[in-house]
């Protein structure tokens, strides 16, 4: 619950009005019978990026095997691997039978940014990074299995990046100033703030070219600002590219097309 005390790892079906707050339990794998989790992938192997407004739902595909067939999932939880803190609601599950013994059960986890401010005793921004998935599964014959750390993935704070090149148009061979700003989502106040001290690549794509090339790398200032001067030779578009970090998502700005006069 928002503003509540973190609980032992558990996600409740249909509890979509507020996040379930999580803490990790001790690592273990135990149960009854021959049912096993044989594989799991979170969000198709991609990072999960959370900003300040848009609700995010991502899948966790869990492959389960038992000689009697698979009944389904009884528990799914996700949380930061380092500190055991996390958030999210298990909002849906679909199990697809692949054979008489094996099914892939896909749990969907939903996060709404408005849940996050004050959701943990400490700064919730610190939960960005490497997360793990725990799950419990059940077979048709009553066998069950409780497994920790069946998959790992990254949850990252969203980032934004702007570009402005001037003057436009510019004389061929003249100096062009390219500016921009890198910001990152703050889950405590649901605002974007400047991201200082980051290396960002300035890229150029000539008019009609299919790709951009990196021209130079510039470090962001105290408010995330960027600025550099380049020589305008061919016409084309300029943009900034930030490769991201373990906790902050990569981002590419829109290109700013500059014509020659």
Q: Is 260 exposed, middle or buried (0-12, 13-18, 19+ CB in 10 A)?
A: middle
CB within 8 Å of 65: residues ≥ 6 apart? 35, 36, 38, 101, 102
Nearest by Cα to 42 from 18, 76, 75, 72: 76
Do residues 114 and 174 lie in contact, with contact meaning Cβ atoms separated by under 8 Å? Answer: no
Nearest-angstrom CA–CA distance, 190 and 246: 20
Is residue 46 domain-shared with residue 142, that is, in the same domain? yes
Give me 6's structure tokens: 């973190």
Is residue 182 domain-shared with residue 252, that is, in the same domain? yes
- Boundaries of domain holding 22: 7-156
Structural domain includes residue 2: no
Is residue 89 domain-shared with residue 30, that is, in the same domain? yes
Domain boundary among 105, 138, 156: 156
Cα Rg of the chain (Å, integer)? 23
Is residue 14 domain-shared with residue 137, that is, in the same domain? yes
CATH code, domain carrying 235? 2.60.40.10
Domain boundary among 156, 182, 208: 156
**Phi, psi values for residue 229, rounded to 5°:** -110, 140
Q: What is the pLDDT along the chain (261 residues), one digit of tens a residue?
A: 232 223 223 333 333 333 434 444 444 568 999 999 999 999 999 999 999 999 999 999 999 999 999 999 999 999 999 999 999 999 999 999 999 999 999 999 999 999 999 889 899 999 999 999 999 999 999 999 999 999 999 999 999 999 999 999 999 999 999 999 999 999 999 999 999 999 999 999 999 999 999 999 999 999 999 999 999 989 999 999 999 999 999 999 999 999 999
Nearest-angstrom CA–CA distance, 228 and 223: 16
Residue linked to tokens 């610190």: 126
How many domains does the chain contain in total?
Answer: 2
Is residue 130 domain-shared with residue 177, that is, in the same domain? no
Nearest by Cα to 158 from 193, 118, 122, 117: 193
Query: DSSP secondary-structure letter at 126?
Result: G
Domain boundary among 132, 156, 180: 156
């Amino acid at each position: 619950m928002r503003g509540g005390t973190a609980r032992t790892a558990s996600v409740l079906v249909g509890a979509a009005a507020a996040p379930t707050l999580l803490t990790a339990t001790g690592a273990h794998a135990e149960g009854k019978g021959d049912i096993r989790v044989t594989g799991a992938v979170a969000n198709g192997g991609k990072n999960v990026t959370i900003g300040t407004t848009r609700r995010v739902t991502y899948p966790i595909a869990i492959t389960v095997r038992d000689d009697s067939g698979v009944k389904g999932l009884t528990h799914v939880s996700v949380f930061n691997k380092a500190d055991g803190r996390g958030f999210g609601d298990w909002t849906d599950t679909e199990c697809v039978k692949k054979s008489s013994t094996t099914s892939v059960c896909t749990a969907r986890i939903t996060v709404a940014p408005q849940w996050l401010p004050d959701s943990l005793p400490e700064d919730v921004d610190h939960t960005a990074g490497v997360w793990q998935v725990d799950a419990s599964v059940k077979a048709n014959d009553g066998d069950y299995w409780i497994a920790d750390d069946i998959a790992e993935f990254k949850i990252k704070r969203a980032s934004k990046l702007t570009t402005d090149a001037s003057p436009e148009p510019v004389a061929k061979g003249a100096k062009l100033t390219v500016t921009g700003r890198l910001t990152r989502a703050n889950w405590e106040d649901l605002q974007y703030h400047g991201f200082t001290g980051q290396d960002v690549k300035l890229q150029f794509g000539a008019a009609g070219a299919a790709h951009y090339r990196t021209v130079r790398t510039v470090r962001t200032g105290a408010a995330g600002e960027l600025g550099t001067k380049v020589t305008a030779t061919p016409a084309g578009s300029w943009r900034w590219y930030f490769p991201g970090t373990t906790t902050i998502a990569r981002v590419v700005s829109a290109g700013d097309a500059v014509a020659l006069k």
